[in-house]
Structure 1
Amino acid sequence: MRRAKRPVRNTGPWSSPRILNSSSPIITADIHGFLVTAVSNWTAEADSYTEAEKRTIIDSLPPRYRKYELDAEGRLKCPLSVEFVLDDPYVKAAVHKFKRDVSEGCYERSWQNQARKAMQERRDGKFDPYLQERTEETFGDPGSNDGPDETADEDIDPEVDSSDGDWGERRSPRGRRTNKGKGTPQTRILQQRRKVLAGGEAR
């Protein structure tokens, strides 16, 4: 009787548990510099990457960058330019966030299990009373209109004095305007409050 093959244990030097833990050396490594070097050496030498490795790398990119174009020699071209990886602020921010998450243990099995449990409890409504309480503390009880609203001061501009103003229209690093935060619940509540105040003044 043949023995069943044992599953390969994920314990090698480059395994996820070894690399993605809070004591991993990649926390202090120059990952951004590594990515720049990896892209610049894409076809610098004949043995830089095999075609299979190139395809695996392209497969891991966001959908809009998964381009499998070939050069004149029939080799896969890198869909990212060195300048893009070097200067793009979102790449830099993603690298920073990844290193922070690793340092905080977000990729460790225990943390992942706790996160899955918390998500399930959230779906089950176990946090609803707490969220309702926090909402009332922050924005007031929507069902209560007793007394004057201390925040309804004519000299207060919600876009300036509220932390929500930090998420209003701003310019991106390249000078383009963004509308980040304009559709958040906080923004909608402030807009509704301004309409109520305007209606009161009209009377």
Structure 2
Amino acid sequence: MSSSAKRPKRNTGPWSSLRILNSTSPILSKDLHGFLVTCISGWNDNYNEAEKRTIIDSLPPQYRKYELDGGGRLVCPISIDFLLEDAYVKAAIPKFKRDVSDGYYEKGWQNQARKALQERQDGKFDAYLQEHAEQVFAEQQARDDSSNPDQADVVSSDGEWPGMSANGRRKSLPRTQVRRPKTNRGALGVRDSPTDPG
């Protein structure tokens, strides 16, 4: 008997990743959050110690805790309260289902994503990205200039944005750049200084 005949194939059966992680997956219509709550609630009743160890082995490193309770059984490293209350878990489950539905876990999509990542790292898209960024920022600058023509010709000699300091806070503009409406201040009874006869 060959060694491949002895071992069961990992990508077959009702719970294989090929069947579950594709756009026609049966999990898309299931309550995954409820399923996880049920699994963790019945940790000691539903799983033997070998199954518990396998589940813990599949968790992210920060959750791989092999603590024993008073009876010598493995304790579930994820609390039911965490599963019920954590906002990230509640948001991650619908996102996961959307990603599965969109085919992001399918082998073809994963291969395309790896190839695109490698091409991006190799600089294949650098010229396009630079051209696209210049086009977008030029359009934005043109809109900004047309909406505020007084500020279009203000250039900062220190390289900062007009009206902003290096730490991102507003700074006062020099008096020559402050534009006040022209009014007859004396007629309104407003004085520029205490000695202004007004």
**Both structures adopt the same fold (TM-score exceeding 0.5):** yes
Counterparts of 1:24-173 in structure 2, within 5 Å, are 24-43=25-44, 45=45, 48-140=46-138, 150=145
Q: Can you list the C-alpha shifts for 1:82-121, whole angstroms capped at 9, x where unaligned?
A: 1110121111111111111110111111111111111111
Structure 1: runs of 5 or more not aligned = 154-193
Report the Cα distance in structure 1 between the residues aligned to 2:146 and 2:67, rounded to whole angstroms.
58
Q: Using structure 1 for the length normalisation, give the TM-score.
A: 0.66
- Equivalent in the alignment of 1:16: 17
Aligned residues: 156
Aligned equivalents of 2:48, 2:146: Cα separation in 1: 63
Aligned residue number for residue 169 of structure 1 = none
* 1:61, distance to aligned residue in structure 2 (A): 2.3
**Which structure has the greater CA radius of gyration?**
2
What is the SS of the residue equivalent to 2:135? helix
Q: 1:148: Cα distance to partner?
A: 10
TM-score by length of 2: 0.67
Deviations 1:168-188 (A, max 9, x none): xxxxxxxxxxxxxxxxxxxxx
Which range moved further: 75-84 or 3-12? 3-12
CA contact (8 A) 1:27 1:103 kept: yes
SS of the residue corresponding to residue 201 of structure 1 reads coil
